[in-house]
Amino acid sequence: MGGGRGAGPRLSIYSTHRGVDRLGALARLTARPPRGIFRRGCAVAGSPSPFIVPPLHLGYCTNIHPGESWPEVRVNLERYLVPVRARIAPDRPFGVGLRLSGESARELAAPAVLDELRGFLRAHDLYVFTVNGFPYGPFHGRPVKEQVYLPDWLEPERLAYTDRLAGILAALLPDGLEGTISTVPGAFAPRVTGEGDRARMADAMLAHVAHLVRLRAETGKHVALALEPEPCCFLETIGETVEFFQRDLLSRRAVAGVSAIISACASTRATWRWSSRIRAACSTRSATRGSAWRRCR
């Protein structure tokens, strides 16, 4: 969504499948980031001095290390990430791809624990720009197979978990920087048995988009959800992913649903403004699919 340059709304969900990420329309119901973002200073969470955000992040993702609780995540950050940063980026801020399980996300929802993480990042000149929200539970050192997708987007806990991750990431993101959360491609394919399941997954993702819009209105932080198509999953191929976006996530019904959720839950004047902008962006769409896509991308 969102037409030309400026502050047109964009939807906040996209696919990381090669060749599909231009469909990033759905996850950008928030305003486009300021032009020149990679040339100006942005403050790292709590850092006293600004830094220049590069066009590409140099960082380290923690999902390669086992660790489900916040204390285990903290140990991994100290044991692995800090030495890596000292070796390859000793004189500049270093990016973190933070993997958080369902357990550690619940723990970091506590303000005191989140403040502890902020302090650690500040002390070591680190910043979080993306969160791995794909595996909810343990997936190291044991067979997981299709269990790695559970809970999936058919289950309420996947939405609750991803909402928690978005709140954590919004609290950690440097000002002016977009953040992303990776997630499962809907569900393991055999679990999706009909149109009802497909609609349930789409509705849950759209509910998360509404949550991201509220976060954007209340915090100024832009967070997007990134779907990761995989073999044997509901979203596996480019064609399947494009079709799901066009039919289920970018339809008139989907846009109206997101707007209704935002309006019903709006707690700030800014959130109401976003809801109005979403409705205005899509209220005059052409009846043809091509025109609708151009107007609401």
The tens digit of pLDDT for each residue in 90-132 reads: 988 999 999 999 999 999 999 999 999 999 999 999 999 999 9
Q: Which two tokens stand for residue 119?
A: 């302090």
Q: Is residue 8 part of a domain?
A: no
Percent of the chain with pLDDT over 90: 54
Give pLDDT, residue 202: 96
Angle between helix 252-265 and helix 269-282 axes, rounded to 10 deg: 160
d(CA 271, CA 274): 5
Q: Is residue 227 part of a domain?
A: yes
Q: Is residue 34 part of a domain?
A: yes
Give pLDDT, residue 243: 96
Domain count of the fold of the chain: 1
Taking the CB of residue 97, how many other CB atoms lie within 10 A of it?
19
Give pLDDT, residue 291: 32
**Using CA atoms in the order 23, 28, 34, 40, what is the torsion angle rounded to 10 degrees?**
-80
Q: Is residue 57 part of a domain?
A: yes
Residues 222, 209, 138, CA angle at the centre, nearest 5°?
90
CA distances (Å), 46 to each of 84, 126, 132, in order?
A: 22, 11, 22
Q: Is residue 4 part of a domain?
A: no
Give pLDDT, residue 28: 35
d(CA 39, CA 178): 15
- The CATH number of the domain where 116 resides is what? 3.20.20
The answer to which of 29-33, 39-43, 122-126, 207-211 has the lowest mean pLDDT is 29-33
Q: Is residue 6 part of a domain?
A: no
Q: Which two tokens stand for residue 105?
A: 């996300």
Q: How many helices (H) and strands (E) in the chain? A: 10, 8
Q: Which two tokens stand for residue 252?
A: 């008139």
Q: Is residue 2 part of a domain?
A: no
d(CA 183, CA 227): 5
Task: Identify the residue with better confidence: 162 or 288.
Answer: 162
What is the span of the domain harbouring residue 233?
13-295
Give pLDDT, residue 184: 96
pLDDT band, very low/low/confident/very high, at 224 (cuts 50, 70, 90): very high
Residue 143 contacts by C-beta under 8 Å, 6 or more apart in sequence? none
Per-residue pLDDT tens over the stretch 249-285: 988 888 888 887 777 665 555 544 545 554 444 443 3
Give pLDDT, residue 51: 55
Give pLDDT, residue 253: 84
Strands 59-61 and 94-99: parallel
Give pLDDT, residue 40: 40
Give pLDDT, residue 136: 93
Q: Is residue 281 part of a domain?
A: yes
Which range has highest mean pLDDT (62-76, 140-154, 234-248)? 234-248
